[in-house]
Amino acid sequence: MASSADSPFLKKPLLRKQLKKQPLWGKRLRRHRHPNKQRQTQRQGRGQGPRSPVKSHQPTRLRALIVWGLLMLGIVALGVRLAHLQLVQGPTLTQIARQQQFTPDVPRPARRPIVDREGNVLAVDRIIYTLYAHPQLFQKAPAEVAEGLSPLLEIPQDELLNRFSQQKSGIQLSLDLSQEAAERVRNLRLDGLELLPQQQRFYPQQSLFAPIVGFVNVEGVPQAGLESAFEKELLMEAAAAAAVPAAPLAAGSLNPTVPPELAAPLKLQLTLDSRLQRVAQQELQATVDRHGAKRGTVMVMDAQTGALLALATSPTYDPNRYYESDITTFRNWAVSDLYEPGSTFKPINIAIALEVGAITPDDGIYDEGRLQFGEWTIQNSDFSHVGGRGPLSITDVLKYSSNVGMVHIMDRVRSATYFDWLQRLGLGRSTGVDLPSEVVGQLKDRDQFVNSDVESATASFGQGFALTPMQLLQLQAILANGGKLVTPHVVQGLVDDKGSLRWQPDRPTPQPVFSPETTQAVLEMMEAVVSDGTGKPAQLPGYRVGGKTGTAQKVTEAGVYGNGRITSFVSILPIEAPRYVVLAVIDEPFGDNAYGSTVAAPLVKSVMESLVVIQRIPPAQAAAQ
């Protein structure tokens, strides 16, 4: 038997081959082998010697030291950075953060209501709601939510469902829900709906008073009209409220000792009458539409006080939806735009000539129909039909609206005197009306007017200078009130709930301009214009009415007279006790038959028919009895 040393099964190479042939046994063997011994065996198999246990731990400690050092450096860097942010940049960053996080929550100051002379509300503060939907929070099916909201919002269910499907949250369904509508939405008790309140200025009369009252925008800033002109008086802040007296005082005076609570119920009352204003606006718009005019205005003034009862303009806009309107409609053109008045200024010129003694009511004038001033030709509007009218009385000059007759009348007044009178009447100055954006009239330079015959000639029939419709109304009121220049106005003052006047704007004292004898003579001539002249379309059965037509050529941008016309008519009634002045101006009516007598006079008649009813003006026969 062979010795164990010579046994082939114990030889090393043979043992390795046998181990490779038995993988399961080898795996079991490696599983129980110590890890260090395994690494040592593997190194020995690759021809490497054994490694000491101390040396095997050195790389691990080195890596730990490196990681620890990096962590310490990071902590130190973070600490330095934090210290820099807090100590060096802290104040600056704090300020920036506050600015980013701060949302202005300044409540919009309450504004006083605006009412007409009868107490009807024209402007008032109210709370409205914006409704948002958040479909992701709906507890009910979107179809059920749409079914409940549809009748309240007046939006079809299909449209609501379409909106719900567009996004999961923040869907705006309505911008201006009233308090009543918001309460009905709450009563539905639907999850996923949000109502956000906000204060809004509301104008229940919509477009009726828009050019006068103006509007307040969504930021609470007044943009036009009385809202802007009387912002201080309308704001109900403590400082403004304390400046309102508790008892009636003189015009323009204030009592700073009144507690704010007494000021809360005050309202800004206007002199305008909603009933008359509505008639004037409707008739004006119908006239503008009928004649295809560019724009128009009709106004009614109490000539004794200057208070306006109606001031209608076209075009107008809805102040509740001002953002949908043309910005040009925000301007009240009756006070902000100039025009040449034409023949409606002739009664004023006759009053000047009578006052200075250049003519008497019984004088006569010869009308040859056409006059020549160098290169300028002046003729009557009906010259091509009737030619010259020959001898005319002063009344006839007005009755037939003779331009040539007016030239002869004012030729008897020295040009310098005539110019002084035009200035005395206020041409080139403000009327003092309490509406914003008023422009002053334009009058030629004194030297140019005095040294040129044609300037006084054209001014005699109302051309060559410009004024606003409001200023012409003011001048016509002089004839109606016995010769005093009054200040036109639409604001009566601040009143309490009982209608007692607590504050009133300070207005200048009416100044005498013409004598009562002069104005009475002119009124009788104007009555003849309506009874038997160009103003016949304005006749009012049973009433004595005076009036004057006007049809003026418009100046183009090139500075020459073009084909455009501006027609007007002014009336004064009742002649036996003059009180009211009505003026209508229609800009660029379309058609060859567009004159003051055919366009403006019928409009004034319609307004007068309502005026006599509202103001209870008795007919002339009843007044005589």
| The pLDDT of residue 537 is above 50 | yes
- Neighbour tally for 472: CB within 10 Å: 26
Higher pLDDT residue, 222 or 97?
A: 222
The average confidence (pLDDT) of the chain is 85
Question: What value does the mean pLDDT take over residues 4-18?
Answer: 42
Higher pLDDT residue, 430 or 61?
A: 430
Instruction: Give the pLDDT score at 78.
Output: 86
Instruction: Give the pLDDT score at 128.
Output: 87
- What is the tens place of the pLDDT at every residue in 235-268? 976 434 444 443 343 333 333 334 444 345 899 9
Question: Which residues are identified as catalytic?
Answer: 343
| The pLDDT of residue 41 is above 50 | no
Q: How far apart are CA 578 and CA 568, in angstroms?
A: 20
Q: What is the pTM of this model?
A: 0.76
Rg of the chain in Å (alpha carbons): 45
Instruction: Give the pLDDT score at 426.
Output: 94
> What is the separation of C-alpha 366 from the centre of its chain, rounded to a whole number of angstroms?
52
Question: What value does the mean pLDDT take over residues 441-458?
Answer: 92
- What is the tens place of the pLDDT at every residue in 62-108? 888 888 888 888 898 888 888 887 887 777 767 666 554 444 444 56
Q: What percent of the chain has pLDDT over 90?
A: 64
| The pLDDT of residue 44 is above 80 | no
Instruction: Give the pLDDT score at 589.
Output: 96
Instruction: Give the pLDDT score at 388.
Output: 87
Q: How far apart are CA 107 and CA 112, in angstroms?
A: 15
Instruction: Give the pLDDT score at 96.
Output: 60
Strands 364-367 and 376-379: unpaired
Instruction: Give the pLDDT score at 77.
Output: 86
Are the CB atoms for 181 and 155 separated by under 8 Å? no
> What is the separation of C-alpha 195 from the centre of its chain, rounded to a whole number of angstroms?
28
Instruction: Give the pLDDT score at 93.
Output: 67
Instruction: Give CATH for domain 126-200.
Output: 3.90.1310.10
Amino acid at 497: D
Instruction: Give the pLDDT score at 258.
Output: 40
Strands 561-573 and 580-587: antiparallel
CATH 3.40.710.10 fits 279-624, yes or no: yes
Report helix angle 12-20 to 23-32, nearest 10: 100
Strand partners, 314: 296
Q: Where are the alpha helices (DSSP H) in 132-217?
A: 142-153, 157-164, 179-187, 210-213
User: H or E segment at 566?
Assistant: strand 561-573
Q: How far apart are CA 142 and CA 71, in angstroms?
A: 55
- Neighbour tally for 126: CB within 10 Å: 12
Instruction: Give the pLDDT score at 480.
Output: 97
Q: How far apart are CA 583 and CA 597, in angstroms?
A: 13
Question: What value does the mean pLDDT take over residues 581-599?
Answer: 94
Q: What percent of the chain has pLDDT over 70?
A: 83
Interior CA angle at 450 toward 374 and 478, to 5°?
Answer: 115
Strands (E), 118-253: 121-133, 171-177, 193-202
- What is the tens place of the pLDDT at every residue in 98-112? 554 444 444 567 899
The closest alpha carbon to 520, from 408, 307, 306, 355, belongs to: 355
Q: How far apart are CA 60 and CA 159, in angstroms?
A: 70
- What is the tens place of the pLDDT at every residue in 153-188? 999 999 999 999 999 888 999 888 888 999 999 999
Distances (CA, A) of 565 to 195, 299, 358, 369: 54, 20, 31, 21
- The DSSP code sequence of 366-432 is EE-SEEEETTEEEE-TTHHHH---EEEEHHHHHHTT-HHHHHHHHTTS-HHHHHHHHHHTTTTS---
The 3-state DSSP class for residue 554 equals: strand
Interior CA angle at 524 toward 518 and 526, to 5°?
Answer: 100
Higher pLDDT residue, 570 or 24?
A: 570
- What is the tens place of the pLDDT at every residue in 551-583? 988 877 666 677 789 999 999 999 999 999 999
- What is the tens place of the pLDDT at every residue in 489-518? 999 999 998 889 999 999 999 999 999 999
Question: What value does the mean pLDDT take over residues 347-357?
Answer: 97
> What is the separation of C-alpha 624 from the centre of its chain, rounded to a whole number of angstroms?
47
Of the candidate ranges 38-47, 562-571, 585-594, the one whose mean pLDDT is the lowest: 38-47
Question: What value does the mean pLDDT take over residues 445-473?
Answer: 94
| The pLDDT of residue 339 is above 70 | yes
- Residue 39: pLDDT band (50, 70, 90) is very low
Instruction: Give the pLDDT score at 559.
Output: 65
Q: How far apart are CA 204 and CA 520, in angstroms?
A: 43
Higher pLDDT residue, 50 or 537?
A: 537
- What is the tens place of the pLDDT at every residue in 374-401? 888 898 888 777 788 899 999 999 999 9
What ranges do the domains of the chain cover? 126-200, 279-624
- Residue 57: pLDDT band (50, 70, 90) is low
